[in-house]
Chain A
Amino acid sequence: MGTTLPPVQLRLRGQPGERAEVVQGFEAFCREGNVPRVVANAADVALEEHLTNVLGYGYEPGAAHEVVVELRIDGGCLHMEVRDDGKSFNPLTLPDPDISLPLEEKPIGGLGLHLIRHLMDEVSYARVDERNVFRMKKRLAA
C-alpha cells in the first residue's frame, strides 16, 4: 500500500520522447509508492487520456506549450494534477457517451473522458492563472 513519498513533477514541453518519459516517471512513482497494480493501471489510463486530449486539442499545431503533471500520495489516495497553458477548456462539461449501446451503435468518440470519469474516484477542473488545472484522485484501497 502507499507509503510516504515526496511529490513528483513531470513536464512536457514538446520535446521528442517526453511522453515516454512521463510514462516511465509515472511507473517509477507508483513502484516507489507501492501503489496497487489495479490502481496504478487505472491512473495510468486516466493520465494518458487527459494528456492526449490536452496535447491534441489544447494547442494549435506546433505551438509552444508547457504541461506539468504532479503526482502525490496523500490521505490514502493517489493524486494527479495536470496544469497546462493551452486553450481554456473544462472537459467535464462534455457529456458521457452511452456505453450501454450495442457494439453496432456504440459511438467511436468520447471514450477517453468516459474512462477518466469511471476509473477515477474524483475529478475536478479549475482555471487558475491562465492555466487549466485538472485534478484526478484514486483511493489506494478498494
Chain B
Amino acid sequence: MNLQRLARGDLHEVVASGRIDGEGANQLEGALGEAMTEGAKQIHVILSGATFISSPGLRALLQGWRNMQTRGGSLYVVDPSLEASMLLNTSGFQGMVLQKA
C-alpha cells in the first residue's frame, strides 16, 4: 500500500492506494492518528487508488471516524474506487463517503 498525507490548514488529506490489508490498515490507522495529533479538524481519506480493502481497513476508518466525532471534527472517505465502494456499501459505511455536489 502507498500512503500520502497532505495538510491544508485544518483539512488533512490521507491518500491510501493499493492493497489495504491488515498491514495496510495499521499504516492507515497510524496516518489518521498523526493527522489528529497535528490538530486536523477534517480528514479526507482518498481511496480512488485503493485496489483492495478488507475488514481491518474498514475498522481503521470507523475508529478514525469515531475519534474525529469525539473531537468535534469529521472524517470522510472521498472518491472511493470500485473495489472500495463495494466494500463500504456491503458494510453499511455509505454515511462515511463524501457525496459530491
Segment from A36-44, A83-91, A124-132 that makes contact with B: A36-44
Cα-based distance from A48 to B57 in the complex (angstroms): 12
Alpha-carbon distance A42/B85, docked complex (angstroms) = 12
**Residue in contact with A49 in the complex, picked from B55, B62, B82, B96, CB distance below 8 Å:** B55
- Contacts of A87-127 to chain B: CB distance below 8 A: 99-104, 106, 108, 111-112, 114-115, 118-119
Q: How many A-B residue pairs have CB under 8 A?
A: 59
For A100, A104, A108, A111, the residue with the greatest tally of chain B CB atoms inside 10 Å of its CB is A111
* Cβ contact of A48, chosen from B54, B58, B95, cutoff 8 A: B54
Q: Which of A48, A99, A103 contacts B21 (CB 8 A)?
A: A48
B84 to chain A, nearest CB (A): 10
Chain A interface size band reads 20 to 34
Complex contact A112–B55 (CB within 8 A): yes
Q: Are B62 and A103 in contact (CB under 8 A)?
A: yes
Chain B residues whose CB sits within 8 angstroms of the CB of A42 once the complex forms: 86
> A38-B82, A104-B66, A111-B55 provided; 13 other pairs, C-beta below 8 A?
A38-B86, A45-B53, A49-B55, A52-B22, A52-B54, A99-B92, A101-B92, A103-B95, A106-B62, A111-B58, A112-B54, A119-B86, A119-B90
Contact surface of B with A, Cβ cutoff 8 Å: 19, 21-22, 51-56, 58-59, 62-63, 65-66, 69, 82-83, 86-87, 90-93, 95-96
Residues on A facing B (Cβ under 8 Å): 23, 37-38, 41-42, 44-45, 48-49, 52, 99-104, 106, 108, 111-112, 114-115, 118-119
Question: Can you list 26 A-B pairs, Cβ within 8 angstroms, ordered by A?
Answer: A23-B19, A38-B86, A41-B83, A48-B52, A48-B54, A52-B22, A52-B54, A52-B55, A52-B56, A99-B91, A99-B92, A101-B92, A102-B95, A103-B62, A103-B65, A103-B96, A106-B62, A106-B92, A111-B55, A111-B58, A112-B54, A112-B55, A115-B90, A115-B91, A119-B86, A119-B90
